[in-house]
């Protein structure tokens, strides 16, 4: 454990002193240990938190108020893996989506039922899925049930490995791991799909 002034914290984290002061004012970074009226010292937990805020804004593309909600979820004491996942997810930004309609909401429920998945009636995931399905339908590109099932099965396979990798972690690091891996593996998954699409279409051309 080291203890450094704000200028050294900037050097170690890659964030500017102005950015650090802004994060301190906004509560995104806990205060340092006061060593006088205007000076404070910072440690490795501050460096780690700064790297996390940067990854959430730059890699996951989140706005600062979303980052704040995610950090609050991470600092929660949750009683089980499941509570931790649910609590973290509720505070994550949804992939954006349009307003759902009853027909799309019904398709979502049928999809959940086919895969034996439970989901709270007020889960934000329902509106996200239904909104996307509604837009696809309105544009004339509604996916058939078979395509949705392929997506759901692929998601289930991935989630098994995600959760297994969470369980291998020290419990105190678990919520951070859920948040970081949920968010930062999302661009990985989307990009791999795009690469795979190119390769499949090349084979068929």
C-beta closer to a second copy: residue 17 or 184: 184
Q: Per-residue x/- marks for a second copy, 50-89, CB under 8 A?
A: -xx-xx--xxxx------------------xxxxxxx--x
C-beta closer to a second copy: residue 18 or 204: 204
Task: State the pairing for strand pair 40-41/33-34.
Answer: antiparallel
205 binds a second copy (CB under 8 A): yes
197 binds a second copy (CB under 8 A): yes
* 42: β partners: 4
Tokens at 121, concatenated: 């009636």
- Stretch of residues binding a second copy (CB under 8 A), selected from 18-26, 31-39, 69-77, 113-121: 113-121
- Stretch of residues binding a second copy (CB under 8 A), selected from 25-33, 38-46, 69-77, 188-196: 188-196
SS3 annotation, the chain: CCCECHHHHHHHHCCCHHHHHHHHHHCCCCCCEECCCCCEEECHHHHHHHHHHHHHHHCCCCCHHHHHHHHHHHHCCCCCHHHHHHHHHHHCCCCCCCCCCHHHHHHHHHHHHHCCCCCCCCCHHHHHHHHHHHHHHHCCCCCCHHHHHHHHHHHHHHHHHHHHHHHCCCHHHHHHHHHHHHHHHHHHHHHHHHHHHHHHHHHHC
CB of residue 22 to a second copy, shortest distance in Å: 20
The footprint of a second copy on this chain (CB under 8 A) covers a number of residues equal to 90
Q: Per-residue x/- marks for a second copy, 86-105, CB under 8 A?
A: x--x--x-xxxxx-------
CB of residue 147 to a second copy, shortest distance in Å: 5
* Residues in 130-169 that interact with a second copy by CB under 8 A: 131-133, 135-136, 138-141, 143-144, 146-148, 150-163, 165-167
- Name the residue among 60, 115, 112, 118 with its Cα closest to residue 91: 60
C-beta closer to a second copy: residue 11 or 156: 156
CB of residue 56 to a second copy, shortest distance in Å: 9
Query: Do 47 and 8 touch, CB atoms closer than 8 A?
Result: no
C-beta closer to a second copy: residue 68 or 134: 134
25 binds a second copy (CB under 8 A): no
């Amino acid at each position: 454990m080291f203890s450094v002034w704000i200028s050294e914290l900037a050097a170690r984290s890659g964030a500017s002193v102005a950015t650090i002061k802004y994060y301190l004012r906004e509560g995104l970074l806990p205060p340092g240990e006061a060593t006088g009226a205007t000076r404070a010292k910072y440690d490795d937990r501050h460096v780690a938190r700064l790297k996390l805020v940067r990854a959430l804004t730059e890699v996951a593309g989140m706005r600062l108020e979303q980052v704040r909600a995610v950090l609050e979820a991470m600092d929660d004491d949750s009683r089980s893996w499941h509570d931790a996942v649910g609590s973290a997810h509720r505070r994550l930004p949804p992939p954006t989506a349009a307003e759902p309609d009853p027909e799309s909401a019904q398709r979502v429920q049928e999809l959940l039922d086919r895969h034996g998945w439970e989901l709270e009636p007020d889960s934000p995931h329902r509106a996200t899925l239904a909104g996307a399905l509604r837009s696809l339908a309105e544009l004339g590109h509604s996916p058939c049930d078979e395509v949705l099932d392929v997506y759901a099965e692929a998601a289930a396979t991935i989630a098994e490995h995600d959760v297994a990798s969470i369980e291998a972690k020290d419990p105190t690091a678990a919520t951070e791991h859920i948040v970081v891996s949920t968010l930062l593996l999302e661009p990985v998954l989307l990009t791999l799909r795009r690469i795979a699409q190119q390769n499949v279409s090349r084979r068929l051309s």
